[in-house]
Structure 1
Amino acid sequence: MKFLLSFCILISLSFAVERPKFEDFAACYERNKASKLNYEGMDAFVLGENLLAVIKKPNTKLNKYVKYDPFLNLYLVRTDFSLIPTKMVDEQNLTRSDWVGVLDPNKAYIGHIKYLAQNINEKDQLDFNSKIGILSTPCCNMLGIALNNGSFIGNRYLKHFMKYNDVYWGDIGVDFTIRENKIYVHNVRKNAQFLVNDQILSVDGENIKDLRKLNEKILFADRGSTLYFNVLRDNQELNISSLVFEKDVSHFNLPNNKPKPAPTSFKSNLGLSVNKALIVTKVEPNSKAATAGFMVGDKILRVNNQIIKDFKNLQDILIKGNDFNILIQRKSDKLPLSRFYDNLATDINSRADGEFQFFIRLRK
């Protein structure tokens, strides 16, 4: 008996996967260190030639990004410079005995994948303490993004994350559970075809016995696609086709990442509002602009003999100076000639189209 036990131990050890050394993952770090960087103070990971996954810090926001995914707590950023991605491999192909590690030049973070998450509300788990970094095989291939709490975001989620410019995860309005190694409908949220306790036999012709794979088949389904279920209900098999729709993320109150529209007007503290065509759109009563004689419809041409190209140019000049000679153009039907000659005119040019150009002096 002792001989048999010793023989079994010897055989198991001969087939065991040898634990890699710290130096193995340190070498991987040197090889792939360009794939992890700091982006506006946040940890960022290269997903493609110009795509980054950036881990959001509390109470912070990037200035420019494609989307923020609340499930993964990641920003997707598209850069205007080239990046160097690490080769990504499928974390689902690893066994419980395969070694993985977080790339670090100074400390060993080595262990195994404990289990893969069952649904999007979970995270994949490691069986060792981790840090934020690239989760890698000893062959220097990326398995996902390691977090600092013993969890990680696997490549299968990252590949779906980088596929869309908006937050999209598939849903069919049904929640599942597993009982006695069989998968059943646990809850129906928004799908009239399923009933609680329907047993799921197959999806798209594939026998389904793994709850994680079923959930991810729905989560990663293409937008607007259809999944075909074979279910067992009251000892009878039924075929159900279900359209995949977007998972509701409205309760997350996502930040608005749309760029702010370019300003179309400018309001001076002198009481003057000007649109992008440099036409006065409003003159505040009793303001310095009103006292100087500005009227709605005036078009600003020059300030202190400088041609004005846009209202940003006008804004910069008015901010820096104190005394301005402003050449404007005004339609003749809005020109109060008596006031014009008495108070405003220092120079006047009449145009054939019934418009006049003259200077107005404006002081702060």
Structure 2
Amino acid sequence: MRFLFCIIAFLMIGQAIERPTFEDFVAGYERNKASMFNYEGLPAFVLSENLLAVLKLPNAKLNKYVKYDPFLNLYLVRTDFSLIPTPMGDEEKLTRNDWVGVWDPNKPYIGHIKYLAQNINERDQLDFNTKIGLLGTACCEMMGIALDDNSFIGNRYLKHFMKYNDVYWGDIGVDFALRENKIYVNKIRKNGQFLINDEVISVDGTPVKSLRKLNEKILFADPGSTLYFQVLRDNVDLNISTEVFAKDISMFNLPNTKPKVKPTNFRSNLGLSVNSSLIVTKVDPKSKADLAGFMVGDKILRVNNAIVKDFKNLQTILAGGNDFNILIQRKSSKLPLHNFNDNLLGNINTNGDGNFQFFIRLKK
């Protein structure tokens, strides 16, 4: 018996991967330190040549970013300067014998991946004390972003995170559970095709053996794509096709990061609509502007002898008075007397290019 134990121990030692030294990870830090830095006071990690993952810390936030993902607690930032990304490895291929660490020049953070999360509401786990930083091998492959609670965000999540400008994670409205090494429908939130206790046999023709891989196949699926399930229901095989939609994130009350569209048009309650070039785009029939003589195409130059810079300026002027002398420029073809002798046009001034300038009086 003791001989058998010694043989097994010898084989285990022979197959074990030698623990890398602290100096190995210091060398990894030196090779990859350009991929991690502070961005506006927050830890930032390079994902591509112009994309950063910035970790949100308590009582701190960024003012400019592509999106904030509440599941990962990361901002996605697009930079206008070039970045140096670290090659991404595949954390799913690592075994319990493979060594990983948080690249740090001062203290060793070295160990193994303990557990890969089953769903987005969990975190991948490490079996050693950690700090916020890049998680990688002793050589040069990044495996994810380490947090300070022995957890990390794996590359498979980071690759999906950087794929979309909006927060998007796939969903089919069904939750699954593992029971006796089989995967069953455990809860139905928004899907009329499944029933509770349906046993999942395969997805897209691939046998389902891992709850994590099933959940991540849905999470990482493109919006609007279709997944094909084979399920066993009351000992009867069924084929179900279901469309992937965006996971509901309304409970997070995320801020709108989309830039506000600048107004391109201003409408006065006097019946006058003006665009950003101060050209009249609409005159309401029988309005005060219509009765005063405004026409579509007129360009507003001055109001009460003051140059008008933009339609916000015009809006402020019209809101602050009651009687206005407005200098406009109009094409000669739109003048009521354009077919008559120029001497009949009186004090109307032309600038020599077929456009005439004159005043219109507008009262509230």
* TM, length-normalised to structure 2: 0.76
- Provide the rounded CA distance (Å) in 2 between the counterparts of 1:104 and 1:302: 68
Q: Following superposition of structure 1 onto structure 2, how do residues 239-278 of structure 1 map, counting pairs within 5 Å?
A: 239-262=239-262, 277=277
Which residue is equivalent to 2:349?
Answer: 351
**Any idea what the Cα deviations from partners look like across 1:294-315, whole Å, max 9, x if unmatched?**
xxx97449999xx886689x8x
Identify unmatched segments of 5+ residues in structure 1: 267-273, 280-296, 315-327, 333-348, 358-364
- 8 Å contact 1:278–1:300 — kept in the other structure? no
- 8 Å contact 2:302–2:327 — kept in the other structure? no
- Provide the rounded CA distance (Å) in 2 between the counterparts of 1:68 and 1:302: 49
Give the C-alpha shift of residue 105 in structure 1: 0.6
Give the C-alpha shift of residue 71 in structure 1: 0.7
- Provide the rounded CA distance (Å) in 1 between the counterparts of 2:241 and 2:107: 51
**Any idea what the Cα deviations from partners look like across 1:13-35, whole Å, max 9, x if unmatched?**
12211111111111000000011
Three-state SS of the structure 1 residue aligned to 2:230 is: strand
Paired AA for residue 187 in structure 2 = N
**Any idea what the Cα deviations from partners look like across 1:206-241, whole Å, max 9, x if unmatched?**
111110000001101111111111111111111111
Three-state SS of the structure 2 residue aligned to 1:48 is: coil
- 8 Å contact 1:25–1:140 — kept in the other structure? no
Q: Does 1:215 align with 2:212?
A: no
- 8 Å contact 2:48–2:84 — kept in the other structure? yes
Three-state SS of the structure 2 residue aligned to 1:101 is: strand
Which residue is equivalent to 1:116?
Answer: 116
- Provide the rounded CA distance (Å) in 2 between the counterparts of 1:354 and 1:27: 75
Three-state SS of the structure 2 residue aligned to 1:28 is: helix
User: Structure 1 residues 169 and 331 mapped into 2: Cα distance closer, same or farther (>3 Å)?
Assistant: closer
User: Structure 1 residues 201 and 331 mapped into 2: Cα distance closer, same or farther (>3 Å)?
Assistant: closer
Give the C-alpha shift of residue 356 in structure 1: 4.8
- Provide the rounded CA distance (Å) in 1 between the counterparts of 2:222 and 2:161: 12
Which residue is equivalent to 1:330?
Answer: 327
* TM, length-normalised to structure 1: 0.76
Paired AA for residue 223 in structure 2 = R
Three-state SS of the structure 2 residue aligned to 1:157 is: helix
- Provide the rounded CA distance (Å) in 2 between the counterparts of 1:260 and 1:60: 23
User: Structure 1 residues 121 and 70 mapped into 2: Cα distance closer, same or farther (>3 Å)?
Assistant: same
- 8 Å contact 1:24–1:138 — kept in the other structure? yes
Give the C-alpha shift of residue 68 in structure 1: 1.1
- Provide the rounded CA distance (Å) in 2 between the counterparts of 1:207 and 1:264: 55
**Any idea what the Cα deviations from partners look like across 1:21-58, whole Å, max 9, x if unmatched?**
11111100000001112111111111111111111123
- 8 Å contact 2:300–2:308 — kept in the other structure? no
Paired AA for residue 208 in structure 1 = V
Paired AA for residue 45 in structure 1 = F
Q: Following superposition of structure 1 onto structure 2, how do residues 1-364 of structure 1 map, counting pairs within 5 Å?
A: 1-262=1-262, 277=277, 299-300=301-302, 330=327, 351-352=349-350, 353=356, 355-356=358-359
Which residue is equivalent to 2:284?
Answer: none
**Any idea what the Cα deviations from partners look like across 1:44-87, whole Å, max 9, x if unmatched?**
11111111111112333322211111111111111111111000
- Provide the rounded CA distance (Å) in 2 between the counterparts of 1:7 and 1:298: 95
- RMSD, matched Cα: 3.1
User: Structure 1 residues 354 and 4 mapped into 2: Cα distance closer, same or farther (>3 Å)?
Assistant: closer
Aligned residue pairs: how many? 305
- Provide the rounded CA distance (Å) in 1 between the counterparts of 2:38 and 2:265: 37
- 8 Å contact 1:302–1:308 — kept in the other structure? no
- Provide the rounded CA distance (Å) in 1 between the counterparts of 2:102 and 2:303: 63
Paired AA for residue 88 in structure 2 = M
Three-state SS of the structure 2 residue aligned to 1:23 is: helix
- Provide the rounded CA distance (Å) in 1 between the counterparts of 2:66 and 2:305: 41
- Provide the rounded CA distance (Å) in 1 between the counterparts of 2:108 and 2:3: 37
Question: Please, which moves more after superposition, 8-17 or 212-221?
Answer: 8-17
Give the C-alpha shift of residue 189 in structure 1: 0.8
Three-state SS of the structure 2 residue aligned to 1:145 is: strand
Identity of aligned residues (%): 69
Paired AA for residue 330 in structure 1 = L
- 8 Å contact 2:301–2:308 — kept in the other structure? no
